[in-house]
Amino acid sequence: MTNIEFGIGLRRLDNVSDDAKIAEDLGYSYICAGEHVFFYGPINNGLIALAAAAGATSSIKLISTITLVPLYPPAMLAKQVATLATISGNRFNLGVGVGGEFAKEFEACGVPVNERGARTNEALEVMQQLWTEDNVEFNGRYTTLPGVTLEPKPGNIPIWISGRSDAALKRCANYGSGWLPYMYTPDMLSDSIKKISSYRAPEKPEIDPGLFIFCSVHPDRDTALQMASDRLSKQYNQDFSQLVGKYAIAGNPDDCIARIQEYIDAGATTIIFNSACPQHHVIENERLLAAEVLSAFPR
């Protein structure tokens, strides 16, 4: 039976170190953080938050879920990622996304939102060269490197591609070591893994199939569903009342075990959770998930 790795998102903006320690103590394999420059509510910068988490922990892996790659100059992002990988003892995994759901942040950063996919693909090429090669010369559409060497070089950092589109599937096939979609059903996950395999060059190893998903665990099913609906409706500025059952894991522990098994049967070997509940229940949500749900699976 395949062992499954589980991760959990950092809970609060102001207590990253304690959150990371608790996640490590509860036995999670990953701690994660997302990012936006501007969004519908408060949110961290993922790389800085994970740097704080790295300093507070010793073994848990770190993954950005996700880094908005097109908003960064590729050479600068390569340096930041290399530094985080080095100071964490090579525990860092780069989760990659193109964003676009909050277009104003692209305008504020001087990046045309319709260039985000092409910029991301080019940045991945640039970064992978800088992490592994000396005297890198690159002449691309958005990036020019005049023969530079990044030190220290971290080597090949695991890259998890996120998204929902066919372009994201192809990006994963070309540049990724792992696939980390979100707002996915089990059927969508299974189908996407097959498509990535068909797009991927035969000489490349198979990708690690994963999933990023919001969760709400509570002894009372209806309470869990309502908490997830309220949280996600606010976070994404749309009505999630009819979408929670499709795109989140919410309910009592038995409900959540059954739903997670569906994703594992669809191919997931890494599942990253983010709490979809009010702040007063987040700590208990994380504990219930670890103690009464994830304990049902081989790890």
- Secondary structure (DSSP) of the chain: ----EEEEE---SS-HHHHHHHHHHTT-SEEEE---SS-SS----HHHHHHHHHHH-SS-EEEES-EEGGGS-HHHHHHHHHHHHHHTTS-EEEEEE---SSHHHHHHTT--GGGHHHHHHHHHHHHHHHHH-SSEEEE-SS-EEEEE--SS---S--EEE--SSHHHHHHHHHH-SEE--BS--HHHHHHHHHHHHHHS-TTSPPPEEEEEEEEEE-SSHHHHHHHHHHHHHHHHTS--TTTHHHHEEEESHHHHHHHHHHHHHTT-SEEEEEE-S-HHHHHHHHHHIIIIIGGGS--
Over range 183-200, report the average pLDDT.
Answer: 97
The predicted pLDDT at position 276 comes to 95
Beta bridge mates, 175? none
The percent of residues in the chain predicted with pLDDT above 90, rounded, is 94
pLDDT-based confidence at 2, cuts 50/70/90?
confident
- pLDDT surpassing 90 at residue 41: no
Whole-number Å distance between alpha carbons of 16 and 175? 30
Q: Global pTM?
A: 0.95
Point out the least confidently predicted range of 12-16, 108-112, 295-299.
12-16
The predicted pLDDT at position 235 comes to 87
CA distances from 235 to 45, 78, 132, 184, 285 (A): 16, 29, 38, 17, 18
Dump pLDDT digits (tens) for 134-144: 999 999 999 99
Whole-number Å distance between alpha carbons of 288 and 274? 13
Task: Please answer whether residues 43 and 34 qualify as being in contact, where contact means their C-beta atoms are separated by less than 8 angstroms.
Answer: yes
- pLDDT surpassing 90 at residue 1: no
The predicted pLDDT at position 121 comes to 98
Dump pLDDT digits (tens) for 247-266: 999 999 999 999 999 999 99
In terms of Cα–Cα distance, which of 220, 217, 219, 216 is closest to 229? 216
Please give the residue that has the higher pLDDT: either 1 or 232: 232
- pLDDT surpassing 80 at residue 290: yes
Point out the least confidently predicted range of 91-95, 140-144, 278-282, 288-292.
278-282
Domain ranges of the chain: 5-296
Whole-number Å distance between alpha carbons of 89 and 161? 22
Q: Is the peptide bond before 43 cis (omega within 30 degrees of 0)?
A: no
Whole-number Å distance between alpha carbons of 214 and 248? 5
Over range 33-51, report the average pLDDT.
Answer: 94
Whole-number Å distance between alpha carbons of 196 and 200? 6
- The CATH homologous superfamily to which domain 5-296 belongs is Luciferase-like domain (3.20.20.30)
CA distances from 8 to 28, 29, 31, 32, 281 (A): 7, 8, 5, 6, 15
- pLDDT surpassing 90 at residue 33: yes
- Tokens representing 113 are 């939102």
